[in-house]
Amino acid sequence: MKLALALIVALQVSVCLCVLPEPDAELVKKYNDLKATFLKRLANAYETIHTTLVKLAEGTITGEKLKEIAQHVKENERIQVIAKLAAALGEELQPALEKARLDALGVYGEYLRPYVGLYLDTAINNIKPMLDTWLPAEKH
């Protein structure tokens, strides 16, 4: 156990001392575009599911109970505090997450992209038509 802990600490120190490469601006732009499209897809899927569930729940006993529970959640102080805490924590972690994301993109661009970049790009382009059918980014 002590040997494993010593190995983990040694690896962590050696990783901290190395300088990570900067990502290409083109790679960062491509990543941000893909991320924005993915988030649009999720938002549209959530809205579609929410609309469908609201239509199904209207006029039923379960629907009234669901509305009552949703109202209770909105008014519950504990849930509001947890939501505010989560939002504050997200704001505090944002710079560290952005740095980690850029470091990961730099490592990918420097060491992996020459070998797997073409395959990954082909896979993404091949899956886009299926995603556009089942999980569209834009509303029609």
Amino acid symbol at 115: Y
59: left (phi over 0), alpha (psi -120 to 50) or beta: left
What's the total number of domains in the chain?
1
pLDDT (average), residues 56-78: 72
Q: Considering the domain boundaries, does residue 140 fall inside one?
A: no
Query: Cα–Cα distance between 82 and 72 in angstroms, integer?
Result: 15
Q: Considering the domain boundaries, does residue 139 fall inside one?
A: no
| DSSP-derived secondary structure letter, 108 | I
For the cut 70, the answer to whether the pLDDT of residue 61 exceeds it is no
pLDDT at 34: 95
Q: Considering the domain boundaries, does residue 115 fall inside one?
A: yes
Range of the domain at 84: 2-134
Q: What is the pLDDT of residues 80-112, one digit of tens each?
A: 888 888 888 888 889 999 999 999 999 999 999
The pTM of the full predicted model, rounded to 2 decimals, is: 0.69
- Averaged pLDDT of the chain: 84
